[in-house]
């Protein structure tokens, strides 16, 4: 189901002290013993100490067990940035169950797939968030994914189970959990037809968490603001909420990343560190001078998920008054950080260097041969916290990994002599929409399901704010071809997350082809740019 690390690697990672045998359940209990009365979690409605969080996790764990969730069973968790995310997830860990992390924008297409592919037995949601009623989605998901026995709802449960009814007095002992086993499933941005699930173990993930907390300088006095969706790998572990817990620090969950919400929180809670994607960093940079809040507690702004332009990077210290850390990571594993002792230019132009001395990075050409030092090539990676295969995806794994276990990141990079990575582009068919990843083929398949669509190609087009937006090129068929708005409505109707709905739809009589007869995305992008230039002139 999950591809294990080969024994010789696992042994080495243990011998080097990377994999310590700690599990998420014991991790929290240990921190709670050490930092019992320190505040661990803050949101709009809660302020929990480590002791309270630990107790809640145990109550949730026993409640989930009483409701028949057995060790190893999968539970899809889709919650906004609220304290209950943490108690639910640690409750599941402690019960030996396996959370599957969905993001709030995911809809029927994604969630029903996660539930079916992981054979999830339960689904955890909030009643409503950002104007969307997740209970209606849950009804549709249950009808499509029969393994889902129960839906747990934060807030008004409707016909489902209230999360409030879950807690139950714990027996004092929880199931033994294998630290080398599956801890949770994280989501991949993907580049193929269906999203991929990423199996992470306690051992590998906690190693990256401990090192990240150290690299990001977290200590008991740190206050980490969660500005991105908490279930994403970046705010989860780079160094994120888990790094904060490792250090005995406090996390503050922001319901949205806008300055209106976040700046008052930074002032009120004395936030010292946060992580955002480039478009959010730009909004903060632009609005900071116009606002009255005191942001002086903020020491470090981490930016990652998509390329942060050098010009923007150089604005951070003068305009926000804090340091910058670039973060180039992936839910599959490898995370790179610029370091506190890097000079200003390195922090401005590079996306950092790997966490571990045992992260192996190869930069290769199209035939997997190493390119000359310093030149651009495809990044392959292997190491103590990078997966060896996606969950239940044997066929895809054969392409996504080399025979000796390197993950093909799909990123085009060059390495500086210092070992820092500069991201120069991407070879995978993915659109990076301000950090939100859209797999071209997934959207194309949904478009192709429309009877008026003969062919479809989804490509990235440059955008000053998001970095990239999506454009769908469509060849129609029949007497009554669909319009752009009709196609967008069609995709929404199929339950595709809003960020995957193409920003623009362009109709073309046919596609340009490459030498081997494949649709040429490069020519499509060029056609789009030419069309845009013509529109501006006209
Ligand atoms: C993070 O994780 P994912 O899984 O959403 O996306 C990974 C992909 C990378 O392969 C790369 O294409 C892109 O996102 N990316 C960047 C980048 N950080 C991620 N591209 C250019 N510059 C960067 N700084 O996005 C993620 C996971 C953990 C920490 C931070 C980001």
Residue pointed to by tokens 């470090």: 300
pLDDT band at 534 (very low <50, low <70, confident <90, very high): confident
**Which whole number is the average pLDDT over 481-510?**
97
Residue pointed to by tokens 């994914």: 145
pLDDT tens for 317-327 read 999 999 999 99
Both structure tokens of 98: 């396996």
CA distance 416 to 399: 28
**Which whole number is the average pLDDT over 223-237?**
98
pLDDT band at 119 (very low <50, low <70, confident <90, very high): very high
pLDDT tens for 396-441 read 999 999 999 999 999 999 999 999 999 999 999 999 999 999 999 9
| 369-372-376-379 Cα dihedral, nearest 10 degrees | 40
Q: What secondary structure does DSSP assign to 139-191, as a single string?
A: HHHHHH-TT--EEEEES--TTSEEGGG------S------TTSEEEEEEP--S
Residue 49: per-residue pLDDT:
99
Residue 194: per-residue pLDDT:
86
Please check whether residue 85 is in contact with residue 37, taking contact to mean a CB–CB distance below 8 angstroms.
no
CA distance 500 to 449: 16
Backbone angles phi, psi at 381, to 5 degrees: -145, 150
Domain regions of the chain by residue span = 23-28+43-178, 430-537
CA distance 161 to 527: 52
**Could you give the percent of the chain with pLDDT greater than 90?**
93
Residue 33: per-residue pLDDT:
98
CATH number of 430-537: 3.30.300.30
- Among residues 146, 153, 61, the alpha carbon closest in space to that of 99 is found at 61
| 169-170-172-173 Cα dihedral, nearest 10 degrees | 160
Is residue 172 over pLDDT 80?
no
Both structure tokens of 127: 């009643």
CATH number of 23-28+43-178: 3.40.50.980
Rounded distance from Cα 325 to ligand 1 centre (Å): 14
Backbone angles phi, psi at 195, to 5 degrees: -60, 155
If one compares 378 and 521, the residue with the highest pLDDT of the two is 378
CA distance 48 to 56: 9
CA distance 364 to 376: 8
Is residue 487 over pLDDT 70?
yes
Is residue 538 over pLDDT 80?
no
Average the pLDDT over each of 258-267, 393-402, 519-528 and give the range with the smallest value. Answer: 519-528
Check pocket membership of 431 for ligand 1, CB cut-off 6 A: no
Task: Identify which of 330, 380, 408 to mutate to test ligand 1's pocket (most ligand atoms within 8 A of the CB).
Answer: 330
394's enclosing H/E stretch is: helix 394-400
pLDDT band at 267 (very low <50, low <70, confident <90, very high): very high
If one compares 396 and 173, the residue with the highest pLDDT of the two is 396
Q: What is the b/e burial string over 285-314, where b = at least 16 CB atoms within 10 angstroms of the residue's CB?
A: beebeeeeeebeebebbbbbbbbbeeebbb
Mean residue pLDDT across the chain: 97
**Which whole number is the average pLDDT over 159-163?**
98
If one compares 191 and 478, the residue with the highest pLDDT of the two is 478
CA distance 298 to 252: 13
- Residue closest via CA to ligand 1's atom 14 equals 305
Is residue 1 over pLDDT 80?
no
CA angle (54 as vertex; 230, 166 as ends), nearest 5:
80
Task: Identify which of 229, 329, 423 to mutate to test ligand 1's pocket (most ligand atoms within 8 A of the CB).
Answer: 329
Q: What does R_g of the chain's alpha carbons equal in angstroms?
A: 23
Residue 529: per-residue pLDDT:
82
Is residue 524 over pLDDT 90?
no
Task: Identify which of 242, 276, 279, 305 to mutate to test ligand 1's pocket (most ligand atoms within 8 A of the CB).
Answer: 305
């Amino acid at each position: 189901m999950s591809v294990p690390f080969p024994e010789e690697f696992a042994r080495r990672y243990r011998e080097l002290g990377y994999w310590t045998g700690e599990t998420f359940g014991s991790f929290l209990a240990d921190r709670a013993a050490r930092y019992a009365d320190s505040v661990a979690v803050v949101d709009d409605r809660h302020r929990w100490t480590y002791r309270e969080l630990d107790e809640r996790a145990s109550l949730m764990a026993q409640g989930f067990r009483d409701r028949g969730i057995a060790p190893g069973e999968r539970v899809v968790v889709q919650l906004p940035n609220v304290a209950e995310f943490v108690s639910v997830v640690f409750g599941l860990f402690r019960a030996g169950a396996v959370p599957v992390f969905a993001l709030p924008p995911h809809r029927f297409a994604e969630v029903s797939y996660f539930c079916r592919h992981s054979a999830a037995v339960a689904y955890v949601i909030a009643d409503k968030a950002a104007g969307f009623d997740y209970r209606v989605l849950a009804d549709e998901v249950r009808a499509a994914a029969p393994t889902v026995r129960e839906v747990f709802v934060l807030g008004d449960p409707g016909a489902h189970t209230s999360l409030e009814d879950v807690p139950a007095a714990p027996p004092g002992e929880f199931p033994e959990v294998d630290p080398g086993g599956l801890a949770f499933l994280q989501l991949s941005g993907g580049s193929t037809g269906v999203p991929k699930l990423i199996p992470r173990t306690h051992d590998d993930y906690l190693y990256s968490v401990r090192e990240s907390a150290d690299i990001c300088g977290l200590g008991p006095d740190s206050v980490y603001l969660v500005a991105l969706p908490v279930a994403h790998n970046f705010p989860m572990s780079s160094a994120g909420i888990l790094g904060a817990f490792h250090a005995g620090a406090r996390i503050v969950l922001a319901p949205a990343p806008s300055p209106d919400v976040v700046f008052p929180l930074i002032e009120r809670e004395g936030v010292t560190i946060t992580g955002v994607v480039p478009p959010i960093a730009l909004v903060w940079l632009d609005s900071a001078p116009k606002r009255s809040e005191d942001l002086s507690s903020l020491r470090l702004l981490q930016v990652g998920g998509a390329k942060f332009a050098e010009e923007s990077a150089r604005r951070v210290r003068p305009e926000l008054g804090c340091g910058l850390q670039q973060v180039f990571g992936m839910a599959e594993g490898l995370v790179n950080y610029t370091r506190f002792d890097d000079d200003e230019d390195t922090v401005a132009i590079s996306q950092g260097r790997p966490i571990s001395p045992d992260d192996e990075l190869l930069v290769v050409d199209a035939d997997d041969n190493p390119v000359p030092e310093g030149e651009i090539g495809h990044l392959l990676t292997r190491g103590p916290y990078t997966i060896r295969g996606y969950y239940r995806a044997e066929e895809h794994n054969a392409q996504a990994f080399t025979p000796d276990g390197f993950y093909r990141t799909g990123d085009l990079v060059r390495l500086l002599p210092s070992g820092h990575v500069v991201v120069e582009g991407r070879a995978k068919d993915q659109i990076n929409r301000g950090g939100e990843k859209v797999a071209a083929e997934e959207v194309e398949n949904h478009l192709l399901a429309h009877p008026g669509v003969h062919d479809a190609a989804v490509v990235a087009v440059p955008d000053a704010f998001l970095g990239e937006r999506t454009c769908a090129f469509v060849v129609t068929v029949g007497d009554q071809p669909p319009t752009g708005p009709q196609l967008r409505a069609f995709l929404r109707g199929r339950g595709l997350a809003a960020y995957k709905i193409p920003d623009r739809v362009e109709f073309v009589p046919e596609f340009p082809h490459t030498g081997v007869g494949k649709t040429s995305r490069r020519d499509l992008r060029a056609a789009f740019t030419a069309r845009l230039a013509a529109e501006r002139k006209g």
